Amino acid sequence: MKRRSLLKTISLLPLFGGIAYKIKASPQMADVAKTDLFKELNIRTFINAAGTLTFMTGSLMRDDVLAAINSTSRQFCMLDDVQDAVGAAIAKMAHAEAATVTSGADSAMTLGLAGILTGTDMKKVGMLPHLEGTGLKSEVICQKAHSDAYNHAFKITGCTIILVETREDVEKAINEKTAMMHFLNYNTNLGKIKHEEWLELGKKFNIPTSIDIAADVPPVANLWKFNDMGFDLVFLSGGKAIRAPQSTGILMGRKNLIAAARLNAPPRAVNIGRGHKVNKEEIIGVYAALKSYLAMDHDKEWKQWETGIALIENAVKQIPGISTKVFVEPIGNQTPQLTVSWDDTQIKLTGAMLKNNLRMGTPSIEASFSGLPLFMGQATPPDPNATGKNQVTVTVWMMQPGEEKIVAERLREEFTKARSA
C-alpha cells in the first residue's frame, strides 16, 4: 500500500473508535489480486469516453476508496453504528440535517418516500406497499416535464404519481392523500415551475419536497446547494462523479425523515427496503469517496478536462469534412464534452459504424450516444448501433491518464480511413 493511501486509510479509523488490529491477507488473496479476472472470464473492458453511465458500470473507484473498503473488510461491526457515523459525517459535508447511505439513488427515492409515509411507526412500516384502507397518504405530485422512468421508485411504496404543469395544477392536486412533491433537477428547464416556487408551494401546504440530483455532480456545490435551498429530501448517486461504489447512493435531508427512512431499510426486516442492502465496506467507501472528492482541486481538474478535450479536437478538426463543437451541459454533470460531426459525402461513415469500429478496436473505446450524456429513464440501455447520425460525442472525465491520446489517435485513424475509402 502506498504511504499516501495508508495515511488516508488510518484517518478513517477514529470515526468508529475501538481497537484497530491487523489481519494479514492470505496467500490466496494475494494470488487473486494478481489475476486478471476480466481476461479469465472473457469480459470486454474499454476506455470510457461516454461518462458515468450505469450500464457502462458508472465510474472507477479511486485508490483511497479501495483502501478504505479493504481496511474495513476484515473486522465486524454493527451496521447501524456504521450508518450512524457515516451519515453524520456526510450530513456535515453536505449541509444536511442527516444522511444515510442507500443502494443507489433509486433506493434513496424509495426509502425517502417510505419514511414520509410511515414516520417512525413500525406498524405503518409493515403496511407498505399496501396503502389502500390504511389511512396512509398515497400520492406524489410531480411536474409532467419531470416525470421519467425512475419515478417507478416511488410506485414501489404503493403511491401513485400525480402529474401537473402549472402552479394552479399543483394547488388543485394537493389533497389529504398528498405525501410529497418531487422535483427532477436535470429537467429544470423543461418544467414551468422552478426550484424556489416549488419549495414555496410545499411550505404553503406543508408538503415535504424532494429533489433528484442523482447524476448532477459536478459542479461540486450541488452536494449542498439543494439542502441549503430547503428541500426536505435530496437523492444522489454515489457511483458517478464521487466515485464511490457504483451500487451506492445518498439520501439526505430532514433529520426526522432520514430516521424514518432507515426504519424502512436494512438491517430491519419486514419492510419494503430489506432488499436495499448496503454492506459496511460500501458505506465506508461512500464516506472515503466523498471526503476525497471534496478535498480535490476542482479548478485544476477542470483544466485537465479542457486540455484532454482540446487534444482530441485538434486531432480531428483539420480533416476535411469534419466539424467540432465543445459544450458543457447547462444542468448537472457539467464537464467539457466534444461533439464531432462530419459530411458523409466526404467521409463514408455513419455514427453507428464509427462507434462499432471504436468498440471492436484495440483497445476498445465506448463513446456517447448522439450527444446524450445520460441514459435517462429508458426501459433498456440504448442500442449502440441504432443511430445513423453522422456524429459522435466524447468526454474525458472518466478516462484514465493518457487514454485521451489513444482516443484522439483512434478517431483520427477512423476518419482518415473513411475519407480515403
DSSP states of 126-154? TTTT--TTT----EEEEEGGG--GGGHHH
pLDDT at position 369: 58
Q: Which amino acid is at 125?
A: V
Burial classification of residue 196, based on how many CB atoms lie within 10 Å of its CB (0-12 exposed, 13-18 middle, 19 or more buried): exposed
- Whether the CB-CB separation of 12 and 75 falls below 8 Å is answered with no
| Beta bridge mates, 393 | 339, 368
Contact status, residue 322 vs residue 342, Cβ threshold 8 Å: yes
Residues in the chain, overall count: 421
Q: Is residue 80's pLDDT more than 70?
A: yes
d(CA 74, CA 104): 24
> Helix, strand or coil for residue 243?
coil
Question: What band does 30 get if pLDDT is binned at 50, 70 and 90?
Answer: low
* Residues in CB range of 362: below 8 A, 6 or more apart: none
233-237 and 209-212: which strand pairing? parallel
pLDDT tens-digit series, residues 294-352? 999 999 999 999 999 999 999 999 999 999 999 999 887 889 999 999 999 999 999 99
End-to-end CA, the chain: 51
Higher pLDDT, 381 or 110: 110
Alpha helices in 213-279 (DSSP H): 222-229, 255-263
Q: Is the pLDDT of residue 276 over 70?
A: yes
133-147 pLDDT, tens digit each: 999 999 999 999 999
- Which ranges in 13-78 belong to alpha helices (H)? 27-34, 37-40, 63-71
Side chain identity at residue 229, one-letter code? M
Q: Note whether 361 and 355 are within 8 A (CB).
A: no
Pairing of strands 365-367, 336-342: unpaired
pLDDT tens digits for 347-358? 999 999 999 999
Residue 56 in 3-state DSSP? helix
**C-alpha closest to that of 223 among 113, 99, 53:** 99
Write down the mean pLDDT value for the chain. 90
Q: Tell me how far CA of residue 133 lies from CA of 87, 130, 174, 177, 194, in angstroms.
A: 34, 8, 19, 12, 35
- Cα–Cα distance, 16 to 86 (Å, whole number): 9
Residue 11 in this model has a pLDDT that exceeds 50: no
Cα dihedral sign for 108, 110, 116, 121? negative
Query: 193: pLDDT confidence band, cut at 50, 70 and 90?
Result: very high
| Amino acid 101: pLDDT | 98
Q: Is the pTM of this model over 0.75?
A: yes
Contact 22, 1 (CB under 8 A): no
Does residue 65 contact residue 292 with C-beta atoms inside 8 Å? yes
Name the strand (E) or helix (H) holding 81. helix 79-93
Helix (H, G, I), strand (E, B) or coil at 293: helix
Q: Are 373 and 339 in contact (CB under 8 A)?
A: no
